[in-house]
Amino acid sequence: MTATATEHVKLTMAQALNRALRDSLAADPTVVVFGEDVGALGGVFRITDGLTAEFGEDRCFDTPLAESGIVGVAVGMAMNGLRPVVEMQFDAFAYPAFEQIVSHVAKMRNRTRGRVTLPMVIRIPYAGGIGGVEHHCDSSEAYYAHTPGLHVVAPATPADAYALLREAIASPDPVVFLEPKKLYWSKEEVELAAPVPGIGRAVVRREGTDATLIAYGPTVPVALEAAAVAAQEGRSLQVVDLRSIVPFDDETVCAAVRSTGRAVVVAESSGFASVSSEIVARVTERCFHSLHAPIRRVTGFDIPYPPPKLEHFQLPGVDRVLDAVDDLQWEDR
């Protein structure tokens, strides 16, 4: 991949993430990348492919199979002037590191009254849709979003994957970077130097006038497909891509919902006590007098992740989204 940052290049999300890591390593000598099999192998999903060969084993290297140790080492590195980017091999593999993340990564700035910051990124391939088994398909965003002190982002396009990862690595504060595994092979033309909204900003992916679909990460393509099908049936659906779960962009989301008066939140994770619950609560609080119907949710069920042959029942699909849209009290129009 020889394109410069000013050129348009066609990239998969996996290639865009690899390019973001490569450009960050080249631009900043304090950036280091490490995790399980990220060195010579290039990671399970090849996100770090070629980085060890290009930058050496001091900048991109393998670690033991010990997630708590990986994050703990990253904390020490960040406290001493480096910018570590660590990879948790799969979503549920990150749980052994949860104590480090909640007790130290998230609290260090507050604990030291701002004297010590932790500029580090925790990359987590997450969510389902790849035919994986339990521990490989969790939607774990609620755990991190509920923890003050962390930024939590989930890109849905290769362009956002590149831009948000570059911004996350440059951030002075820790970022949990959730990568939708099933979108690793999605592809689009990316202008690497193009300005894009930063962390904390949502975008409207499709304009519409009848109802707003609110999605993030792996459910954005589902929402867009549902909107396309609805258009064939004469219904105009707007699609908002959150991009950033924490900070949450109330301004863009609420403006979108107020413009249509109806909304459905689409998320892969279980619905109970989830990010989707929080979205419904805060949008209802802020947009109550503009709503024509209660906000609906389409989420994963409140069960452990099912076996591969059953995951299509668990994942939000177009039909479930359109069923929820049908329930938005259209008879009151």
User: Of the residues 8, 104, 135, 136, which is catalytic?
Assistant: 136
* Residue 257 · residue 228 · CB < 8 Å: no
Which tokens sit at 89? 């091999």
Provide the β-strand partners of residue 124: 178
Contacts for 316 with CB less than 8 Å, ≥ 6 apart: 219, 222, 266, 267, 268, 298, 299, 300
Give the 3-state secondary structure of the chain. Answer: CCCCCCCEEEEEHHHHHHHHHHHHHHHCCCEEEEECCCCCCCCCCCCCCCHHHHHCCCCEEECCCCHHHHHHHHHHHHHCCCEEEEECCCHHHHHHHHHHHHHHHCCHHHHCCCCCCCCCEEEEEECCCCCCCCCCCCCCHHHHHCCCCCEEECCCCHHHHHHHHHHHHHCCCCEEEEEEHHHCCCEEEEECCCCCCCCCCCEEEECCCCEEEEECHHHHHHHHHHHHHHHHCCCCEEEEECCEEECCCHHHHHHHHHHHCCEEEEEEEECCCCHHHHHHHHHHHHHHHHCCCCCEEEEECCCCCCCHHHHHHHCCCHHHHHHHHHCCCHHHC
* Residue 214 · residue 119 · CB < 8 Å: no
Please say if 289 is a catalytic residue: no
Residues annotated catalytic, as ranges: 136
